[in-house]
Amino acid sequence: MISQTINNIEIEKYINQIRGDFPILQTQVYGKPLIYFDNGATSQKPIQVIDRITKYYAEENANIHRGVYYLSQLSSDNYEQSRKFITQYLNAKSEKEIIFTRGATEGINLIASSFGKKFLKEGDEVLITYMEHHANIVPWQVVCEQYGAKLKAVPIQKDGTLDLEIFENYITEKTKIVSTVYVSNGIGTINPIKELIDISHKHHIPILVDACQAAPHFKINVQELDCDFLVFSGHKTYAPTGIGILYGKESFLEDLPPYQTGGDMIKFVSIDKTEYNELPHKFEAGTPHISGAIGLAEALKYFDSLNYDLIQMHEHQLNDKLKFELSNIDGLTILGSSLNTIPLSSFAIEGCHPLDIGTMIDFEGVAIRTGNHCTQPLIHALGYQSTCRASLSYYNTLEEIDEFILALKKVIQKLR
C-alpha cells in the first residue's frame, strides 16, 4: 500500500511536470480551465515541437533535394535525418521503408491504389473489419469497384472485440490483403494485432495495420509485429497536421507502382519515358511537408524521452477511473466492454442527444467529441447512430476526470 502511494505521488508529480510542456493546457475556455478530452481526434503539441517548427521556418526554410546552396542542403539533411530517426524509432530495417505522407488517410489510399493496380483482379477479396475508420473502408471500396474485387468485413462481438476464429474463417483463397485497425478510435478496443498478423501470414496474406490510435500510446516495433504495412498520422501523435508515416516492407514497396507522379519521384524523364526514383522517394512526389516531417521526428523524440513505465501506469489509472465514473451515471451506456482498451470511452445517455451534450459541456470548459467518430459501421453495429466520446492522453489528469463528470452530470440535469 505504501509503495502504491509513493508510485501515485511520483506519477502525479511527473504528469504535472509534463503538462508544463504543453502551452495550450493553460488555456481558459469561457473563463474555465480547458479540459481537453478529444485526443482521439488530434493531440496537443509540446513546446519542443512548436519551437522546432518555428526554428525551421525562421532559420532553415528551403526546398529539399534540389539545391546546392547551404539552406537547401541543411533542410534536406534535417528532413532525411528525421526519416532516419523514425526508422530507428519504429525499428524498421531500412530508411527505404519509411514514406512520409500527408497522414494515415493518404498512406492507406497509397497502398490501396498501388496494391490494387499491381495485384487485384476480378473476383479477388480484400478483408477489413467492422471496427475500421472510414479512411480504412472507403479507399478499399473504391479500389474493389475499380478492379471487380469484393470487400469483406469481419463482424465484431457484442463487447466490441474481434473473435480470432471468426477472423480466420473470413480468409479464403481469394483474399489478397487484410487491412485492420490496431486500436479502435470509436470505442478504444486494443486488437490482438500480433495474432491478426500471424493468422494473415499463415495464409500467406499481407496485412496493413492502421496504428493511428496506437502510436500516441504505445511504442511500435514493426519488425516485432512483422506487419507488411503500417500507417499513422502525426497530428494524433503530438506532431503537426498534414504529416504521417507509411511503413512498408522494402520487398513490397519495391514491387508496387507509384501512387502519385511528378517531381522528386523520378530519376530520369524524357517525353517518351520516365524512370522512377529509388525508395523511399518513389512514393514522395512533389515538395513534401518538410517542416511536418521534422516536427514529427521531434514529437516522437519527445515521446521517446518520457518515462514510459510511469506513462503507462498513469494511462491505466485514467482509463479505469474514466470508465468507473461513467458507468455510475444513471442511463449512461458505454459502448464496448473489452477490458483491453486505451483511455477512450464512447457513451450514450438516455434522453440526451450527443450534440446537445457536446455543445453544453463546452461551456463548462470540457472538449469532447460527438457523432459517429468516422466509424459509422461500428457505431451502427453496436446499436447507435451517434455517441459522445471522451479520449484521454498521458497529459490528462485524474482531477480533470472528476471535473468532467461533475460537468456532465450538470448538463444531464439540464437536459432531462
Number of domains in the chain: 2
Do 189 and 231 share a domain, yes or no? yes
Do 347 and 388 share a domain, yes or no? yes
Terminal CA-to-CA distance of the chain, rounded, Å? 42
**CATH (domain of 402):** 3.90.1150.10
CA-based Rg of the chain, rounded to a whole angstrom?
22
Q: Which residues contact 72 (CB under 8 A, 6 or more apart)?
A: 62, 63, 64, 66
* DSSP for 262-309, written as a single string: STTSEEEE-SS-EEEPPTTGGG--SS--HHHHHHHHHHHHHHHHS-HH
Dihedral sign of CA atoms 58, 63, 65, 69 in order: negative
Last residue of a domain, one of 247, 270, 304: 304
Dihedral sign of CA atoms 52, 58, 59, 64 in order: positive
Do 23 and 84 share a domain, yes or no? no
Dihedral sign of CA atoms 291, 226, 94, 221 in order: positive
What's the confidence (pLDDT) of residue 277? 87
* Cis bond upstream, residue 155 (ω within 30): no
- Cα 144 from Cα 395, distance rounded (Å): 41
Last residue of a domain, one of 279, 304, 329: 304
Do 35 and 101 share a domain, yes or no? no
Do 21 and 139 share a domain, yes or no? no
Do 350 and 371 share a domain, yes or no? yes
Do 300 and 348 share a domain, yes or no? no
What's the confidence (pLDDT) of residue 1? 47
Do 32 and 175 share a domain, yes or no? no
352 in active site: no
- Cα 78 from Cα 83, distance rounded (Å): 9
What's the confidence (pLDDT) of residue 6? 53
**CATH (domain of 66):** 3.40.640.10
Query: Catalytic pick from 144, 212, 352, 374?
Result: 374
Do 277 and 339 share a domain, yes or no? no
- 28 within 8 A of 18, measured Cβ to Cβ: no
Do 206 and 291 share a domain, yes or no? yes
Q: Domain containing 329: what range?
A: 2-42+307-415
Do 213 and 273 share a domain, yes or no? yes
Q: What is the H or E stretch that residue 86 is in?
A: helix 70-90
Q: Which residues contact 238 (CB under 8 A, 6 or more apart)?
A: 43, 44, 45, 46, 49, 216, 299, 302, 303
- Cα 277 from Cα 257, distance rounded (Å): 11
- Rounded to two decimals, the pTM is 0.96
* Per-residue cell: 177: 490483403
Q: What is the H or E stretch that residue 347 is in?
A: strand 344-349
Q: pLDDT tens digits, the chain, 416 residues: what are they?
A: 445 555 888 999 999 999 999 999 999 999 999 999 999 999 999 999 999 999 999 999 999 998 999 999 999 999 999 999 999 999 999 999 999 999 999 999 999 999 999 999 999 999 999 999 999 999 999 999 999 999 999 999 999 999 999 999 999 999 999 999 999 999 999 999 999 999 999 999 999 999 999 999 999 999 999 999 999 999 999 999 999 999 999 999 999 999 999 888 888 888 998 888 899 999 999 999 999 999 999 999 999 999 999 999 999 999 999 999 999 999 999 999 999 999 999 999 999 999 999 999 999 999 999 999 999 999 999 999 999 999 999 999 999 999 999 999 999 999 98
Do 23 and 69 share a domain, yes or no? no
* Per-residue cell: 198: 500471424
CA distances to 52, 83, 99 from 298, rounded to whole Å, are 7, 11, 17
Nearest C-alpha neighbor of 379 from the set 347, 338, 332, 416 = 347
Last residue of a domain, one of 304, 332, 351: 304
